[in-house]
Amino acid sequence: MGFQWSVNDASIGDGFVRIAREQIDKAIAVANDTDESPAKRVHEARRRAKKLRALFRLVRPDFRHYAKENDFVRDAARRLSSARDMKVAADTLADLMQWAERDVAPITVSTDAGDEEAGLVRYAADMREMLARTERWKTGRIDLDTLADGLTETYRSALEAMQHVAAHPSDDGFHEWRKHAKYHWNQLGLLEACAKDILPSAHQAVGVLAEVLGLHHDLAMLRDKLTVDSGPFGEIDIGMVLDAVARRQRELEARIGTLGRQVFAETPKGFHARFASYLEGWAAEEGTA
């Protein structure tokens, strides 16, 4: 049925469990899909983990298993191979040099496919373990108010992260904002059906913001890797690259600021009232309780 509640769900709580199981099943499937490259499977497995954690945060106020399951998914994703991080860093360097109009030799980063495969096997086992636990989840208290409260809490966290980075800019601050913005993006996707004429554009705007914040984070990660050990990247002018990183980040920060002020213009109180109204209207129209 997709990453959304449905009129066919018997209750909001039942819909939550269905969505979670679908995402867990997809996570297991992609981890086991040996027709795809390990790098692509790791990327997709991490993406499913982020969607699950956004879903858990949405029902957090009335999901008694939140802390255990959120931490479980976080740790499962962290145990995946870090080889993809080097691939992202290499791709980021190539894009950066194109932006800076500098020529560099093609960069090839070697990865340990065996290590990635082992990580994916372990990840699939973790997901199967959690899937079995869904049979015992207590979700009877999850309702429309839960969704409005959970969505607003994520919105508030993202707004506060934005305000913090505006007052104290740092790579860690931008990364923290990105995490909450990505959760907010996934949660809006879950609830698009409750305001079909409004939310798709809002969902897209948050997605653009999260993407640009992601570019900022990738540059910070590249700088950190170059500072520690530039060897894997071949013969490059480290000073030139670090200067380009700083200039590109400043350019992105100007765009991030504009997007952030648009996406997080409401107070949490106003945001909550608006979405509570959307959800009530959607439930009345669809007959969902």
Distance between CA atoms of residues 38 and 43, nearest Å:
9
Residue 2 domain flag: no
Gyration radius from the chain CA atoms: 21
Distance between CA atoms of residues 161 and 159, nearest Å:
5
4 with 22: CB under 8 angstroms?
A: no
Residue 169 domain flag: yes
Tens of pLDDT, residues 183-221 = 999 999 999 888 888 889 999 999 999 999 999 999 999
Tens of pLDDT, residues 127-151 = 999 999 999 999 999 999 999 999 9
Mean pLDDT of 30-49: 93
Q: Collapsing DSSP states into helix, strand and coil, what is residue 112?
A: coil
What's the DSSP call for residue 231?
G
Tens of pLDDT, residues 95-110 = 999 999 988 776 666 6
Alpha-helical regions (H) of 33-63 = 38-58
Residue 6 domain flag: no
Tens of pLDDT, residues 56-89 = 999 999 999 999 999 999 999 998 866 677 888 8
Decide if pLDDT at 226 tops 60.
yes
Range of the domain at 180: 12-286
Q: Domain total for the chain?
A: 1
Residue 1 domain flag: no
Q: Which of 45, 9, 11, 25 is nearest to 130 (CA)?
A: 25
Mean pLDDT of 175-184: 97
Tens of pLDDT, residues 267-287 = 999 999 999 999 999 888 765
Residue 110 domain flag: yes
Q: Is the pTM value of this prediction over 0.85? A: yes
Residue 194 domain flag: yes
Residue 254 domain flag: yes
Provide the mean pLDDT of the chain: 91
Burial of 35-54, coded b for 16+ CB within 10 Å and e otherwise, reads: eeebbebbbbbbbbbbbbbb
Decide if pLDDT at 288 tops 60.
no
Distance between CA atoms of residues 175 and 209, nearest Å:
12
Lowest mean pLDDT among 4-13, 15-24, 120-129, 208-217: 4-13
Query: Which CATH number fits the domain that encloses residue 200?
Result: 1.40.20
Label residue 9 by pLDDT band (50, 70, 90).
confident
Number of Cβ within 10 Å of residue 15's Cβ equals 23
Planar angle of CA 123, 127, 128, nearest 5 degrees? 120
Q: DSSP string covering 60-109, please?
A: GGG-TTHHHHHHHHHHHHHTS-THHHHHHHHHHHHHHHHHTT--------
Label residue 229 by pLDDT band (50, 70, 90).
confident
Distance between CA atoms of residues 128 and 134, nearest Å:
10
Residue 7 domain flag: no
